Amino acid sequence: MLKRFSLSALSGKRRFDDLSEKEILALAISSEEEDGRIYAIYAQKLRTDFAASAAIFDGMASEENGHRERLLALYQQRFGDVVLPIRREHVADFYTRKPVWLIENLGLDQIRAEAEDMERRARDFYVAAAGRSTDVETRKLLGALAAAEAAHEAKAQGLTTEHLDDASRSDEDLAAKRQFVLTWVQPGLAGLMDGSVSTLAPIFATAFATQDPRTTFLIGLSASIGAGISMGFTEAAHDDGKLSGRGAPWKRGLASGVMTTLGGLGHALPYLIPHFWTATTVALIVVFVELWAIVWIQNRYMETPFLRAAFQIVLGGGLVLAAGILIGGA
């Protein structure tokens, strides 16, 4: 009892079990209203590129608004016209939704999964809450809410069948994959290639010129971070994505900058090993892994023939590596 009181006092939130029927109904009204807005945001986000899925979420938003109107009518009938201002965040153990700024950055598959999870969590919560309640009227109310969510889930499946046939789903999945490649994979791959290959010469030239692991590491660290910052800003600044459809500049810049830095750090970090030849051996192994990883990504996501990708990347990387070693050892 003390623990329950302490948690409630510290958080300033009520427990769901402590709510009255009036508060539960008010909470259901605000929850349905919020879910309707979320589905409307999904529809707005998808309308340009994924019209069929947008139609599904338009229908689901309309259903949520219909549920809200039914609940509001019941509330007015039982408790009057003034609805209590209680929301999800006011109840400690009530299910929550993702913030709007996270919703807007979800991909198509994530949006579909999130919508399914929204309906399932709402239904399951009301069922579980009804099972815990000892008040007959409260059990009836919670059971009605659970039935409403179950009906909405069935309606959502019907909307999916109506608006999203196999051909439409296939087209949208292909468009989503293309968008993922353009926004994340392509700039990330360009960054990884630049970071892995362009830093080979300065790092290994320094290594063989000084045979000092610490100096080599510092040069590699500065080259990797500098290249990452440069590539990130370049990618973000040269294309705002509106005409090319390549996605938000900050996403592409982040992917390019991070992968560029990681590509250079891969063969710089081994020079934290104090023994020069041990560090160099490990660094060469890392370079081998990096180059073949680039080949695999090109083949997997960019659909570049494996042999052509291997020839281009391994040959180019090998030439840059050889140049660095020869210059450093001269």
Q: Which of 257, 255, 263, 256 is nearest to 195 (CA)?
A: 263
**pLDDT tens string 155-173:** 555 545 554 555 555 655 6
Distance (Å, whole) CA 56 – CA 158: 9
Tokens of 75: 């509330």
Q: What is the pLDDT of residue 42?
A: 83
pLDDT at 279: 94
268 class by beta-carbon count within 10 Å (0-12 exposed, 13-18 middle, 19+ buried): buried
Q: Say what the alpha-carbon torsion angle 271, 277, 280, 281 is, to the nearest 10 degrees.
A: -130
- Sign of the CA dihedral running 302, 307, 312, 318: positive
Q: What pLDDT score does 8 carry? A: 46
- Max mean pLDDT range (210-214, 249-253, 307-311): 210-214
Contact 164, 56 (CB under 8 A): yes
Tokens of residue 133, six digits: 């309640």
First-to-last alpha carbon distance for the chain, in angstroms, is 79
Q: Which two tokens stand for residue 257?
A: 């900058």
Confidence of residue 284 (pLDDT cuts 50, 70, 90): very high
Q: Identify whether the C-beta of residue 94 lies closer than 8 Å to the C-beta of residue 121.
A: no
